[in-house]
Amino acid sequence: MRRELAVILFAVCIVVLHQSLAAAHLAGAGNTTSCTGFNRTEDRSVTFWYSSLDNVTAEAANWARTNSIDPTDVNTSGASSSSSADVIVNDANYTTYCGYNWHSTGTTVGLARCTTSHVSGNFQGYCDQHNIYIDTSYFSGTTQFNQRALLAHEIGHTIGAYHETGTTVMVVNLPAPTTALGTHVTNEVNAVFPP
Ligand SMILES: [Zn+2]
């Protein structure tokens, strides 16, 4: 049994302000498109589409890709269309999307979710397309550091990173201590996405 299979049911890919979650590893072929499952993108080349983002969200996404994700063996680039994108980034003042209590009344400020998974072929079970959702009511009232960390965190989920403890952007509590994925996650990412 591959290690990834053991952690599928553990997946909860939300960021909350005050909640703890145990450390985990890297998601594999989760074969889920639910609001709570994980399955990482299929390979190291990850294309992005920004869905009419606020400038500040787009800037944070660009920053996170360049400084937190691209230093790993994953390479991000712009997609030629939304339909072909591996990751679509969305922002809005969410309230109850996916059943969570978003920032206006609750603590959820970001979400990464696989919306289309590969149902057959070499990448069966891996995610064909993720969507990231960023809460604008949180975003507009927080620091640039937190904005960058939130995007790095959610993009980290799309390449398989689970929540971690310690000095990594994948901690579940905000504010994150750093915008970096950290050695543990980076090593695992590089192991599953060899150049
Ligand atoms: Zn998370």
Q: What is the pLDDT of residue 195?
A: 66
Q: From CA 87, how far away is CA 116, in angstroms rounded?
A: 10
* C-alpha 178 to ligand 1 mean position (Å): 14
pLDDT at 16 over 50: no
* C-alpha 164 to ligand 1 mean position (Å): 9
Residue 41 forms beta bridges with which residues? 127
Q: How far is CA 96 from CA 34, 51, 108, 153, 155, in A?
A: 15, 20, 9, 21, 21
* C-alpha 150 to ligand 1 mean position (Å): 9
Mention every residue, 6+ apart, whose C-beta is less than 8 A from residue 27: 4, 7, 8, 11, 38, 39, 40, 157, 160, 161, 162
* C-alpha 154 to ligand 1 mean position (Å): 6
Q: What is the pLDDT of residue 22?
A: 35
pLDDT over 70 percentage in the chain: 87
Q: Which two tokens stand for residue 99?
A: 């059943």
Give the tens place of pLDDT for each residue, 60-98.
Answer: 999 999 999 999 999 999 999 999 999 999 999 999 999
Give the tens place of pLDDT for each residue, 131-143.
Answer: 999 999 999 999 9
* C-alpha 1 to ligand 1 mean position (Å): 25
* C-alpha 173 to ligand 1 mean position (Å): 9
